[in-house]
Each structure stands twice: as C-alpha cells, then as structure tokens.
C-alpha cells in the first residue's frame, strides 16, 4: 500500500482536463449520442498525405504500406481525429475491368472504361484480395490499424455503386442512359452494387470503417429526381449491408447537395458528409436525424491565408456544433494536394478551440445533482 502514501485529495476535477480523450474515444461518444470533450476533427486528408509525407503519389495509391505510412504521418503531424484511406473513386470500377493509367505525380487517370455501351453485363464480382488496387486499401487498413487502431478510427472510402457504375461505361453514355435507357442503368447499378458490397466486406474484415462516397451523384452532376431514382436505392443497399454490422455509416457526396439533403438522410446513413451547401440549412433540415460532417471549402483551405482559414473554421464550427445529433468539423471535400501545412494546422487548432465543450470534464458528474462528500 505504500504507493498511496500521498494524501488523498491531490486529484481534483481540474486535473481531469489534462486527460484528453483519444480520437477513438471521442468518436465513440459521438456515435452513441453522448457529448465529447470537443468536436472531432476531420479535414479529408487523402492524397495530400503523400505530399506531406514525401511519398510519391503513384507509390501512395499502388502500395498499401506507403498509403498507411503517409496517413499515419499526417494524422500525427496535424493531430486530426481520423485516418482517411483514399486515393480516388475509380478503384472498384478498375477492379471490375476499367483501365486506368498511373502517373508518377498525379492520381490515376481513367483510360478506358470496361464497356463503351450500356447493356453489356457479366456475372463478375470483385475479388478484393486480387483485383485491381483494392488490395492496396486493405493493406493500408491493416497497417494503419496495427499501428494506431486502438486510438484512432481508420476510415476507408468506398465509391458508391452510382459513382462506380459511371466509370464502367462511357460517362456521357451513362448520363444519357438515365433518361434513354433507365433499366439498363439500373441493371448496371445492381452489378456495381454487388462488387461494392463485396469490397465493403473486405474493408470490414480489415477492421476499417467504410465510408460511402458518391461524388458523381452530386447535385452538381445529376438532378434530385435522378438521384432518387438511381443513386439512392443503390446507396441504400450498401448501407443496409453495413448496418448488418451495426456500423455507423458515413455518406459523403461532394458539391452542392442542397436539393438532395433530405434524400441523403433517407439513405439510412448515420452521418452525412456535406460540401458546398449552407451548413446552417443542413442543421435545420436533417440535424435531428443525422450527424453532420463538414464543410470548409477546400479551395479556400488551399489558397487562403492561415488567418482567413481560422476565421472561417471558427464560424463553421459555431454553426455545426449546434447540430442536435452531433457534428464533425471537416472540409467539404478532399484537402487539395498542395495545401500549405500551416493552413491545415490552422484548421485543426481552430476547430479544436472552437469545438471545445465548455461542460467538459465532469460536467455530467456535477449535473447528477449529488452532493459532494463521502457516504
């Protein structure tokens, strides 16, 4: 008992403020509707991680170990609350047969879609350990999880069926098909959905949390009617699968999604990641149903000064943290590769300060109404 020789009372509630939560603890509280010490912070750092860690882009998206190394480096450097495994949205399409080229210092470029026309389906479902670069993501997830999985959530971005399908055929043909050959588009979406789900399962097995990304379903690309008729049902199918595992599902759609915000909430996603929309509107419209992630403009993050970034982040967080179901301070889309480090640092520091919970720590103890003292 000698190790307790110090007089009792040396611990005070004030000292608990020196016991910060880990990102995993923070996220864990968010998803069960509990207050956190501060809002979680998620600038969507993807390929920028390669730039920051001195890894070539081609190595980043073709070598899982390099992707993990870059992500671990940036998570630690900036003090963000997540690791975001992602390079681009073509990976499932590529695994199904679409061809990409791999520039040394740029992201993969779609070279030739699997089909030029609609209506040319086969029975194939991807093998995530073997096809295309899916294995890169799985390796990255495994490495990152081994390194930091106890303290930081590992997110792996999975392109949604609509975005994947659009890269399996000629893009223009696909968009015209929404009007001219809707049944063939739906069949293609079913085809893509099977492989997206198969990949999602592999991501789950690798202990990463899948994030569904559907940028080509954005209101900047298609109408709300087409979103509802085509993209949404396939998103719902994937989300239903993820809910079999009780996962907290993030749906990310870039661009202007104002017109489809209610529909996005109807997808069943637990967290909506939004981009070029008014955050206060999103809070009003879906804040009672969904946690929100967003949404600093990424061009601003890239080109503005650190001081300007801080100002905008502070305003954004003040709006977002009022969301009834919870909020994650984030960028609206991917952090541009060449974004200055000081701007990202400004984002994180400001979000942490502005997102601090004034009742933390021990707010709930005090609110319990019990009188201090021994029984």
- CA dist., res. 187 & res. 27, Å (int): 37
Interacting residue with other proteins among 112, 284, 342, 365 (CB under 8 A)? 365
Q: How far, in Å, are 59, 144, 233, 364 from residue 105 at the CA level?
A: 9, 23, 36, 50
| Residue pair 274/253 in contact by the 8 Å Cβ criterion | yes
Taking CB under 8 A as the rule, does residue 358 contact other proteins? Answer: no
| Min separation Cβ 315 and other proteins, Å | 28
| Min separation Cβ 139 and other proteins, Å | 15
Q: Segment 245-264, which members bind other proteins (CB under 8 A)?
A: 245-247
Q: Segment 170-199, which members bind other proteins (CB under 8 A)?
A: none
Taking CB under 8 A as the rule, does residue 21 contact other proteins? Answer: yes
Smaller CB separation from other proteins, 14 or 54: 14
Taking CB under 8 A as the rule, does residue 22 contact other proteins? Answer: yes
Strands (E), 91-239: 99-101, 109-112, 154-159, 209-213
Taking CB under 8 A as the rule, does residue 4 contact other proteins? Answer: yes
Binding letters toward other proteins, positions 29-68, x by CB under 8 A: x--xxx----------------------------------
Q: How far, in Å, are 44, 58, 89, 302, 316 from residue 107 at the CA level?
A: 16, 7, 10, 18, 30
How many chain residues interact with other proteins (CB under 8 A)? Answer: 54
Interacting residue with other proteins among 14, 54, 172, 371 (CB under 8 A)? 371
Identify the helix (H) or strand (E) that includes residue 334.
Answer: strand 327-334
Binding letters toward other proteins, positions 131-160, x by CB under 8 A: --------------xx--xxx-xx------
- Phi first, then psi: give them for residue 272, nearest 5 degrees: -110, 125
| Residue pair 192/92 in contact by the 8 Å Cβ criterion | yes
| Three-state secondary structure string covering 267-293 | CCCCEEECCCCCHHHHHHHHCCCCEEE
Please give the residue ranges that form the binding site for other proteins (CB under 8 A): 1, 3-4, 6, 8-13, 15-16, 18-19, 21-22, 24-26, 28-29, 32-34, 145-146, 149-151, 153-154, 201, 204-205, 207-209, 244-247, 360-362, 364-366, 368, 370-375
């Amino acid at each position: 008992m000698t190790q307790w020789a110090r007089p009792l009372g040396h611990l005070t509630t004030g000292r608990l403020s020196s016991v910060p939560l880990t990102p995993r603890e923070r996220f864990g509280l968010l998803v069960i509707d509990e207050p956190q010490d501060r809002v979680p912070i998620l600038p969507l750092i993807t390929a920028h991680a390669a730039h920051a860690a001195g890894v070539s882009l081609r190595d980043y998206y073709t070598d899982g170990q390099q992707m993990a190394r870059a992500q671990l480096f940036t998570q630690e450097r900036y003090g963000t609350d997540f690791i975001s495994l992602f390079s681009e949205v073509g990976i499932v399409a590529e695994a199904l047969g679409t061809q990409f080229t791999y520039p040394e210092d740029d992201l993969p470029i779609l070279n030739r879609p699997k089909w030029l026309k609609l209506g040319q389906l086969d029975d194939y479902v991807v093998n995530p350990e073997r096809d295309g670069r899916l294995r890169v993501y799985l390796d990255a997830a495994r490495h990152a999880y081994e390194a930091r999985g106890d303290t930081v959530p590992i997110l792996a971005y999975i392109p949604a069926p609509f975005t994947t399908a659009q890269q399996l055929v000629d893009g223009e043909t696909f968009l015209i098909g929404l009007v001219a050959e809707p049944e063939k588009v739906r069949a293609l979406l079913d085809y893509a959905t099977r492989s997206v789900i198969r990949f999602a399962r592999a991501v789950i097995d690798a202990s990463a949390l899948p994030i569904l990304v559907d940028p080509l379903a954005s209101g900047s690309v298609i109408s709300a009617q087409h979103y509802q008729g085509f993209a949404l049902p396939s998103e719902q199918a994937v989300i239903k699968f993820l809910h079999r595992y009780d996962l907290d599902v993030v749906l990310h759609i870039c661009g202007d999604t104002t017109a489809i915000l209610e529909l996005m909430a109807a997808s069943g996603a637990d967290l909506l990641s939004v981009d070029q929309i008014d955050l206060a509107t999103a809070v009003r419209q879906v804040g009672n149903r969904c946690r929100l992630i967003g949404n600093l403009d990424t061009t601003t993050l890239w080109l503005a000064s650190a001081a300007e970034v801080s100002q905008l982040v502070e305003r954004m967080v003040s709006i977002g943290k009022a969301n009834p179901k919870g909020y994650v301070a984030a960028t609206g889309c991917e952090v541009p590769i060449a974004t200055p480090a000081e701007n990202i640092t400004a984002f994180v520091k400001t979000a942490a300060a502005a997102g601090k919970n004034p009742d933390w720590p021990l707010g709930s103890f005090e609110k319990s109404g019990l009188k201090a003292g021994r029984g």
